[in-house]
Amino acid sequence: MGGAALTAMAVLAGAFALDLLIGDPRWIPHPVIQMGKAIKALENGIRRQFRPEQFKLAGILLPVVVAGGALIVTWALLKVLNAIHPWLGWAAEAVLIATTIAVKGLKDAGMEVYRHLAAGDLPAARRSLGMIVGRETSHLDEPEIVRGTVETVAENIVDAVISPLLYALIGGAPLAMAYRAVNTLDSMVGYKNEKYIHLGWASARLDDIANWIPARLTALLLTASAFILRMKGRRAWRTMRRDARKHPSPNSGFPESTVAGALGIRLGGVNVYHGVESFRAYMGDALRPMESRDILLANRLLLTVSVLFVLLALLAVWAAGGALWT
pLDDT tens profile 164-195: 999 999 999 999 999 999 999 999 999 888 89
Measured CA to CA in angstroms, residue 278 lies from 145, 244, 289 at distances of 16, 18, 22
Report pLDDT for 26.
73
Q: Given pLDDT bands bounded at 50, 70 and 90, which one contains residue 325?
A: low
Average pLDDT, the chain: 94
Of residues 24 and 13, more confidently modeled = 13
Taking the C-alpha atoms of residue 98 and residue 27, their distance in angstroms, rounded to an integer, is 15
**List of E strands, the chain:** 267-273, 276-283
DSSP state of 193: S
Mean pLDDT on 29-34: 87
Q: Which residues contact 47 (CB under 8 A, 6 or more apart)?
A: 55, 199
The pairs formed by 131-134 with CB atoms below 8 angstroms and a separation of 24 or more are 134/273
Buried b (16+ CB within 10 A) or exposed e, 226-237: beeeebbbebbb
**Amino acid, res. 124:** A
pLDDT of 324: 55
Kindly give the interhelix angle for 61-84 and 201-228, rounded to the nearest 10 degrees: 60
pTM for the structure as a whole: 0.94
3-class DSSP state for residue 271?
strand
Task: Report which DSSP code applies to 244.
Answer: G
pLDDT of residue 319: 86
Give the single-character DSSP code of 134: S
229, pLDDT greater than 80: yes
Which own/partner contact pairs does 69-73 have at CB distance under 8 Å and 24+ positions apart? 69/38, 69/181, 70/31, 70/35, 70/174, 70/177, 70/178, 70/180, 70/181, 71/174, 71/175, 71/177, 71/178, 71/181, 72/174, 73/177
**How far apart are alpha carbons 135 and 129 in whole angstroms?**
9
Q: For residue 326, name the pLDDT band (cuts at 50, 70, 90).
A: low
Which candidate, 247, 251, 226, places its Cα nearest to that of 236?
226
Cα–Cα distance, 214 to 216 (Å, whole number): 6
Are the C-beta atoms of 182 and 203 separated by less than 8 Å?
Answer: yes
Give the residue-averaged pLDDT of 233-255: 97
Q: Give the DSSP letter of residue 269.
A: E
